[in-house]
């Protein structure tokens, strides 16, 4: 059994957890959403300063809630890439300092690998290979999970992430931040067939379209044009909540269908019979509905971890760190933070 204290500070959640392999002993998550919503999105410098203010308190609280002390901890893990560099540095520096002071091994974790491991927290018996559909505010990918540290990105967005598209559309409908949950709620009361919106497709040089890559910026622009057209026709139209609900429902339907189509095609083509979902957009009711239905008709299993493990949290980072540690994968204390890093390169973190 490997007990890890893990830290996640890649964006706007300060999180510290203690896990014993796949079992969560404590998971402290302090969201900064209230602060960033004032600006309509995450402000990187504000995020770093907030992490710095609360990290020590979160570490202490994680130990208290797990009822453990430093001698009980086998290693320290922290997200080191990808993410906001200033924000990552806070968690990474705290983790490396704790590793030195308490003489524990240090394990740097790729944020997306953490999202993949979130599924194991609820499904400890799940074994690779499987497909992970990762849909968050910063990422939209289809990842072939082969083993611990062994991944292949089969599809990804060429522009905006799915969550980013929800946030941008919510902003142009003047609905607030983060947009995903607000649009989801409004969509439930709207008509998803009210407006025909284009599905983003990536053309291939030899003709046809990429079967697994995503694009959301064209869809966002289509919603912008629709709003401009409706406002031109009637300045007051958007203030009628039924129109906003119809736009929200039509947009959500287009995103959910596009994600579902690619995830199912990818799993079927690669002979993978399980699709695990990660990231904040996994909460979306339209996506859940389409994916569950399509998976059932294709004889595929689809796993939605509980929302607290889909959105950013340190428990998933700890779960990945415990697996790496148990395989002898340890990071150098010289490891730095990186804003970008392909998930294929994860094993570079343990050289």
Question: In the complex, which residues of this chain contact Zn ion (CB under 5 A)?
Answer: 136, 312
Cβ closer to ligand KG4: 252 or 331?
252
CA 301, CA 278: separation in Å to the nearest integer? 15
Residue 29 CB, nearest approach to Zn ion (Å): 12
Dihedral-angle region of residue 208 (phi above 0 means left; psi in -120 to 50 means alpha; beta otherwise) = left
- 60 contact partners, CB below 8 Å, separation of at least 6: none
Q: Is 82 in the site for ligand KG4 (CB under 6 A)?
A: no
List the one residue from 279, 290, 319, 323 that touches ligand KG4 (CB under 6 A): 279
- By three-state DSSP, how is residue 157 classified? strand
Cβ closer to ligand KG4: 26 or 313?
313
Torsion angle of the four alpha carbons 197, 203, 208, 212, in this order, in degrees rounded to the nearest 10: -80
Residue 271 CB, nearest approach to ligand KG4 (Å): 28
List the one residue from 24, 284, 295, 349 that touches ligand KG4 (CB under 6 A): 284
Q: Which range of residues in 32-40, 178-186, 226-234, 243-251 is near ligand KG4 by CB under 6 A? A: 178-186
Residue 163 CB, nearest approach to ligand KG4 (Å): 3
- By three-state DSSP, how is residue 151 classified? strand
Q: Is 18 in the site for ligand KG4 (CB under 6 A)?
A: no
Cβ closer to Zn ion: 136 or 284?
136
Strands (E), 228-338: 274-278, 301-303
**H or E stretch covering 8:** strand 3-8
According to CB under 6 A, which residues from 236 to 265 bind ligand KG4?
Answer: none
Cβ closer to ligand KG4: 178 or 190?
178
Cβ closer to ligand KG4: 77 or 163?
163
* Peptide bond just before 178 cis, omega within 30 deg: yes
In this structure, are residues 272 and 212 in contact, taking their beta carbons and an 8 Å threshold? Answer: no
Cβ closer to Zn ion: 105 or 163?
163
List the one residue from 8, 160, 167, 246 that touches ligand KG4 (CB under 6 A): 167
Q: Is 160 in the site for ligand KG4 (CB under 6 A)?
A: no
According to CB under 6 A, which residues from 98 to 137 bind ligand KG4?
Answer: 136-137
Cβ closer to ligand KG4: 7 or 99?
7
Count of helix runs (H) and strand runs (E) in the chain: 11, 10
Q: Which residue has the tokens 């609820």?
A: 122
List the one residue from 184, 213, 246, 253 that touches ligand KG4 (CB under 6 A): 184
Q: Is 311 in the site for ligand KG4 (CB under 6 A)?
A: yes
CA 20, CA 212: separation in Å to the nearest integer? 35
- By three-state DSSP, how is residue 307 classified? helix
**H or E stretch covering 252:** helix 241-269
Residue numbers at the binding site for ligand KG4 (CB under 6 A): 11, 136-138, 163-164, 166-167, 178-181, 184, 279-281, 283-284, 311-312
């Amino acid at each position: 059994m490997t007990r890890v204290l893990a830290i996640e500070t890649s964006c706007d959640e300060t999180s510290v957890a203690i896990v014993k392999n796949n079992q969560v002993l404590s998971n402290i998550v302090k969201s900064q959403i209230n602060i960033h919503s004032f600006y309509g999105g995450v402000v990187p410098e504000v995020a770093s300063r907030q992490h710095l203010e609360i990290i020590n308190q979160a570490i202490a609280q994680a130990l208290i809630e797990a009822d453990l002390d430093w001698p009980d901890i086998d290693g320290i893990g922290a997200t080191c890439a990808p993410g906001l560099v200033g924000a990552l540095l806070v968690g990474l520096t705290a983790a490396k300092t704790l590793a030195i002071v308490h003489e524990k091994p240090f394990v740097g974790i790729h944020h997306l690998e953490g999202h993949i491991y979130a599924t194991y927290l609820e499904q400890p018996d799940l074994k690779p290979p499987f497909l992970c559909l990762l849909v968050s505010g910063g990422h939209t990918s289809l990842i072939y999970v082969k083993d611990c540290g062994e991944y292949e990105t089969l599809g990804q967005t060429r522009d905006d992430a799915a969550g980013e598209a929800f946030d941008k559309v919510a902003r142009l409908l003047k609905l607030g931040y983060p947009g995903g949950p607000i649009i989801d709620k409004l969509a439930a009361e709207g008509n998803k067939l009210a407006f025909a919106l284009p599905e983003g497709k990536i053309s291939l040089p030899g003709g046809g379209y990429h079967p697994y890559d995503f694009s959301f910026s064209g869809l966002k622009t289509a919603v912008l044009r629709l709003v401009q057209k409706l406002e031109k026709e009637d300045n007051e139209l958007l203030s009628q909540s039924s129109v906003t609900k119809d736009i929200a429902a039509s947009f959500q339907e287009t995103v959910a269908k596009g994600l579902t189509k690619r995830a199912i095609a990818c799993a079927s083509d690669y002979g993978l019979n399980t699709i695990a979902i990660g990231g904040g957009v996994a909460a979306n009711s339209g996506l859940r509905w389409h994916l569950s239905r399509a998976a059932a008709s294709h004889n595929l299993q689809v796993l939605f971890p509980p929302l607290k493990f889909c959105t950013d949290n340190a428990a998933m980072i700890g779960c990945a760190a415990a697996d790496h540690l148990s395989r002898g994968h340890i990071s150098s204390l010289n490891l730095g933070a990186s804003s970008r890093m392909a998930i294929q390169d994860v094993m570079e973190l343990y050289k």
